[in-house]
Chains A and B, each alone.
Chain A
Amino acid sequence: MNIVYAVATIFITINYGLVLQGIIGKVYARVATRIGLRIYQPYINIIRQWVTRTSINHGIMYYLGPVFRFTGGGGILIFLPVIYGAPFFSSFSSAGDMLLIMYFMFLGTLGMALGGGESGHPYAAIAVTRGLAQTTAAEFPLILAIFSIVTQYQTLDVNQIVAAQQGSVLNWTLFTNPLATIAAMLAFLGSMMRSPFDVVLAPQEIPIGPPTEYQSQFLAMLMTNRTIFPVAKTILYVNLFFGGVALQDSWLLTFVIFFLKTFFVYMWSVFVGVSFPRFRVDQSVRWFLKAPAALGVLAIIFVQTGM
């Protein structure tokens, strides 16, 4: 039964992710005073790739790259307790706690990096080195923030962290541990592939990165993953810092809360993205290791000293 739940979770998230992508496209366009594409354009894009009939293959690792990637993205989603109190949306969360989810994120990244690498294109490798370099730095404040809240709640179990935040909005980590939340939200920017941290893929001017080397169903699989992966990450953040999404009396209300929370957390990266110019990788590495890291350290000190 869990498997059915898991497939359903993934399916719903894909659709949600595609809608979000459409909305983001609109936001970007309107900020740039353009009209923008139709909001359902992401659906067309992804379906077109899935049904493309010509396809080339650079080798076995290249072939397996998207498989690893999608396994990573889907895995996180089904290891996460998406809606607190609803077994339906927490299919395999009994397999492990927050640490499992955080480490499982790297599986897809590694797979895609290796797949792109086998294409032989130097740009794929350059993008991976940029991405890895930036990720290491962005993860540092996140680790600090997570240590801080785990000390605060004395558990690594995402369900229990969400449980501790129920009752009142003021129980959210956002209010009980603001420093950790800020540090984590700054780290969040580093993993969302948006400006100022998008030199990793630099999507507009210079096509670079593993996805550039893929086409057809390979690319379709990567794109599918790209719809769910940021959503999964957002859900994790909502759970840790913004009270999670608890099962309400009506499913409709639950979904409304779910969509609102994830939408605004997701949009945080979009708003920053449209507002700030791009960093070089070495600049972003230094940036993450300064203010966000300092906030993370403070968050730990505050929690440990009980302030």
Chain B
Amino acid sequence: MVEPVYLIVVALGAAFSLGLLRKAGFVMHHLVLLLSLATMTAISAQWTVGLFTGSVSPAAIPTAGFSPPISINLQMGKTEGFLTLLVNLSVFLSSLFMIKTVKRRSVYVPMLMLVFASGLNGIIMTRDLFNLFVFIEIMSIALAGLIVLNGDIQQLGAGFKYILAGALTSGLMLIGIIFTYHTTGSLNIDTIANALTPELKAVGYAGLFLIFIGVLIELKPFPVNGFGLDVYESAHPAVGAVVSAGAATATLYAFAKIAIMSGDLFLELSMVVGAVTFVGMNVVALQQKIANRLLGYSSLSQVGLLVLVWSLVKWQNIANGDLIVLGLLVTHAFAKATLFWLSGIIQKEKIEDWGIIKQRIYLLFPFAIALLALIGLPPFPSFFAKWELIMALAANQSHLAIALILGGSLVEAVYLMRWFGHAFKNTAAEDETLSVSFCQLLPVFAGGLLLIGLGYPASLLSATASPIPWMLTAFVLFTFAMEFLPAKIKNIIVMAAIAWYGYPLLTTIGGYRVIFAGIFVIGALVTMIPGFSHKGNRLGFYPSLTMMFAGLIGIIEAKETMSFFFYWEMMTVGSYFLILRGKNSKPHALSYFLFSLGGAYLILAAFGYSFGQTTSVSLDTLSQVASTPYAALVMLFLSIGFMTKTASVGLHIWLPGAHAEAESDVSPMVSGILLKAGIFGLLMTFIALGDQKIGFVDIAYVLSWVGAISALVGNYLAAMQEDAKRLLAYSSVGQMGYALFGLSLMSHLGWLGALSLSVIHFTYKVILFLAVGGIVYRLKTKNMYEMGGLIRKMPITFFAVLVSIIALSGIPPLAGFGGRWVAYNAVIEKGWMLQGAIIGFSGIIAFLYLFRLIHTIFLGQLKDAHRKVKEAPLPFLLPQMLLIGLVMFLSSRPHTFLAPIGEIVKEFKPDGALTWTGPLAQSHLGYWDGVMVMWVFMGLFAANFALLFIMNRRAQPVKQFNIVYAAERPARPETTHFAYNFFAPYRRALGFLEYPLATHFFDGITDFLHAAAGFIRRLYTGNGQTYLFQIVAFVVVVFLLANGGF
């Protein structure tokens, strides 16, 4: 083992020797820099590995031949090893990144970098107060030099303000150290910690407070962090990266040391400051358009989060605190560094201009990884850290902390994913080019890969759950590796993989899961067929697709809450990327992502409370929560969480845009298949928890109203759309409303209705979206009033739409009727008539949009421009035909699927099941024989057709305009085709249903947050004197707050 002291020796030695090598040239300088940093990284890596594997024990390093407390001592334990590795690696990668981009090619840059690194290592390792102060000063001074690297006016200003603030805080610290030495007689952190009796704490409070507040201000808490923001904004991105990954990490550890030394004197205080910083900075960031400053806000908020979380862990004695804090820390360090490096490559000030990143499309990969890791999505370490944290907080009933952390993360996701949307969707000016060198790419990809790679060990450290099954995740990663292949081959590979994985799943998994597994697996295979119509290699499509389907299959297979949540999030991310691919889907994809994430956080909190009550993470034991005081809360959170996925009214506003603007073959996936994940979750919740009450309010009863109103509003709005895909999207809102209503009935028939609806909705909604997709593919428009008369051009598509709208509307003899029959029986049995009547009313309103869909597209007048339109391509037609076959089968033999679903439901709701006598179903209210209805229909239809055919087989075919038109000939198809504002009288009568209440509500929240951000931003005047005044005021206010001085 190399002595840890060499971490400082190497850095300082190399820095001084560079002074001797001034004339040796640029290459030599950087060679020395990189070699030294590599050496330091190797030393800390060696120690980290040794300490974690147990081959070496923690070392205390005395200096000057004396042992502490007489001399300064350094320490190398697990934490120190890990943190020095983290900072050294990030400084090394940043130095590599700088080589090509730094403008001033002087020896000072590598020297400063090395001094800076030595400061970081010192801060982490030292156990001496004064020595800590010295290392902080070393780091600060070196950093001030690095900030002004390019020497432009902005950097000089930022550096100057940084020095001013640093001088003030180090003054405070120094006075504090003097006081503390005076009261305790020692400068050694451990000695002081042991010596602090309650009396000494009282006497030495001022000293300890000044040290504490000094270090805290070094962490740049809100709102006294204007100087820090200017640094992030103006410094070279590589410097930004080391500030974020290195300085913040080291200072955090210094903060932790001071806080531990002070006993628990300042834990509450630091929690408050951390929480305020985390939330405040995220809110202010909402209005930020400048990339580097945005990163600054994000960095400071993350540091706030770490302060909060670390204090919470100490305060509540949370068991798995190391994983939580280090998981968040390492994610923040590498993610933020990666983003800063990317910003150095892109060199665009505004986030709107980041579209240029697509010139090097592979850069989107580390970009997305860094953003997703920051938000805490799987499979990154932060995901597991957040999971453990919420489990522990929920177990300790820290509701406020949970709300703050999850709420703040949601706000953070807003601006991070908005940024990604700009980068992914915006286009750069044509004359701009993006140049990238190897030295820049290496750190960026190293950062991205480290984030992925560290996820696995983090998952093993989770104390609450057994490791998640990685097989599906591994396949997702594999799809990234085969991105170079043509789309058609990838399509085959992914389909084969899903079939290979799905078939045994379908045969082995039992219970209600098999229904959803069937929808997901068969749905995946069917909806992927249109993918064959794509040429080229369709970059990014297959990783997103596999992410979504792996997530869906993962939630089916999950046995524990953590793996469920892991795959739930993965599904969300995958579907977000898929939706984002649509032409105009930028805002809609973002809204989808945020609603999903908000819902996911509620699910996470619910799982947390469930864990807190039962100390079990098994999904099977979720039912044990039912008998605890948290039952209603868990049910409410889970229900709302899953309802964001089913887009129940109020939470539906993301759906129309997301489903309508997605690509033609993505819409059926996200509509026909993905929505069922929400139904699955709701069913799982209801099975486990049954019905619960909050006070006098029955949750299921409320949900039944939500379902009924979703059905009404969804169907009404569908009828008012001009855009065919939006019409179908709103129709899904309505259909999922039916399903939610059925589930909320909490009876055998209600669940049977909801489950059979899920199956049938899958068939016809996929057909409809594919049919419309095929039409849009040919016509290049989604507006129905621009179509018309296509029945002769696209007869197969017409037939598909005809069959599916009959099925959807519930008209016998097709399969939809069975669902309706069961649902009405369920309503009457339950007695919830008013909601039931609204459901029935909505069912009839569905005729409005269904007729509109088929009429305005296929009937009416064919436009001149479409006279040569061809039938939709075969890859679109084939899955439609397969599904029509399925619909016809289910329609002519409805008992073959209703009876088995009934058997599954019987397991949970045995009362009130249907009695089957062959195809005859009997409830205690009524009866229905689907096969007989089908025969009667076919007999009558055939007889009538035969009659008509015999009587007028010589009917003469006529042309388009051969109509009675007030003795005139119509001028043009456009003026004769009735399609625009199709249901004008209906709108006059019921237009109030269109009032965008939910949109206004969420807009209100958004506006409020943005206004708050705009207001708070006024604190950041950019004036150094103001900043200094703010710091002084902050110290005074915090001191008074801490002592109840107000």
Contact = CB atoms under 8 A, between A and B. Distances in A.
Interface in A291-307: 296-297, 300, 304
A8 to B, nearest CB: 14
B840 A96 contact: no
Instruction: Give the interface SS of chain A, mostly helix, strand, loop or mixed.
Output: helix
Contact of B855 (A50, A70, A114, A283): A114
B989 to A, nearest CB: 4
A296 B179 CA distance: 82
B861 interface: yes
A190 to B, nearest CB: 12
Contacts of A289: 989-990
Given A120-B861, A150-B925, A103 B810 contact: yes
Interface stretch (B94-102, B551-559, B905-913, B931-939): B931-939
A67 B948 contact: yes
A50 B950 CA distance: 11
Contacts of B833: 144, 147-148, 151, 300, 304
Given A136-B844, A143-B841, A147-B828, A281 B986 contact: yes
B627 interface: no
Contacts of B859: 61, 114, 117-118, 120, 125
Contacts of A285: 985-986, 989-990
Given A75-B936, A103-B810, A218-B952, A139 B926 contact: no
B792 A59 contact: yes
B932 A94 contact: yes
Contacts of B861: 120
Query: Could you say which of B817, B860, B976 has the most chain A C-beta atoms within 10 Å of its C-beta?
Result: B860
Contact of B951 (A95, A154, A217, A304): A217
A118 B961 CA distance: 11
Contacts of A60: 791, 795
Top 4 nearest A-B pairs (CB, nearest first) are A156-B926, A117-B859, A97-B926, A281-B985
A147 B855 contact: no
B547 to A, nearest CB: 41
Interface stretch (B35-43, B229-237, B415-423, B819-827): B819-827
Contacts of B841: 136, 139-140, 143
A87 interface: no
Contacts of B983: 129, 132-133
B915 to A, nearest CB: 14
A79 to B, nearest CB: 7
Nearest to A142: B840
B860 A122 contact: yes
Contacts of A68: 941
B937 A114 contact: no
Contacts of B851: 110, 113-114, 128-129, 132
A137 B716 CA distance: 12
B594 to A, nearest CB: 34
Contacts of B526: none
A128 B855 contact: yes
Given A98-B926, A125-B979, A221-B948, 17 more contacts: A3-B939, A55-B952, A55-B954, A55-B955, A61-B859, A92-B936, A95-B936, A100-B933, A120-B963, A122-B860, A132-B848, A133-B985, A135-B844, A136-B848, A139-B840, A147-B828, A156-B923
Interface string B832-862: 0110110011001101100110110011110
A140 B982 CA distance: 21
A28 B925 CA distance: 42
Contacts of B828: 147, 150-151, 156
Given A75-B940, A136-B844, A296 B837 contact: yes
21 contacts: A57-B956, A61-B791, A61-B798, A70-B944, A71-B944, A79-B933, A95-B933, A96-B821, A99-B820, A100-B933, A113-B855, A114-B859, A121-B976, A125-B855, A137-B989, A140-B837, A155-B926, A156-B926, A216-B952, A281-B985, A282-B985
B845 A136 contact: yes
A219 to B, nearest CB: 10
A10 to B, nearest CB: 9
Nearest to B932: A95
Interface in B960-981: 960-965, 976-979
A96 B925 contact: no
B925 A155 contact: yes
B948 A139 contact: no
Nearest to A7: B943
B928 A282 contact: no
A297 B838 CA distance: 11
Contacts of B979: 125
A63 B945 CA distance: 9
B583 interface: no
B200 interface: no
A173 to B, nearest CB: 16
B844 A114 contact: no
A140 B798 CA distance: 30
B936 A78 contact: yes
Interface in A247-302: 280-283, 285-286, 289, 296-297, 300
Nearest to A79: B936
B927 interface: yes
Interface residues of A, number: 83
A71 B978 contact: no
A41 interface: no
Query: Could you say which of B817, B929, B948, B960 has the most chain A C-beta atoms within 10 Å of its C-beta?
Result: B948
A1 interface: no
A221 B944 CA distance: 9
Nearest to B831: A304
Interface residues of B, number: 80
A40 interface: no
B1016 interface: no
Contacts of A119: 963
Query: Could you say which of B828, B837, B928, B941 has the most chain A C-beta atoms within 10 Å of its C-beta?
Result: B837
B104 interface: no
B918 interface: no
A56 interface: yes
Given A58-B958, A114-B854, A99 B928 contact: yes
Contacts of B988: 282
B741 to A, nearest CB: 14
A96 B812 CA distance: 10
A140 to B, nearest CB: 5
Contacts of B926: 96-99, 155-157
Contact of A156 (B811, B925, B940): B925
Contacts of B954: 55
Interface string B767-802: 000000000000000000000010110010010001
Nearest to A96: B928
A119 B862 CA distance: 11
Contacts of A144: 833, 837
B410 interface: no
Contacts of A296: 837
Contacts of A282: 985-986, 988-989
A125 B983 CA distance: 10
Nearest to A54: B956
B198 interface: no
A170 to B, nearest CB: 25
Contacts of A143: 837, 840-841
B288 interface: no
A122 B825 CA distance: 39
B836 A147 contact: yes
A135 to B, nearest CB: 7
B855 A97 contact: no
A196 to B, nearest CB: 14
B986 to A, nearest CB: 4
B978 A126 contact: yes
Contacts of B858: 61
Contacts of B961: 120
A64 B986 CA distance: 28
B249 to A, nearest CB: 63
Query: Could you say which of B809, B812, B820, B932 has the most chain A C-beta atoms within 10 Å of its C-beta?
Result: B812
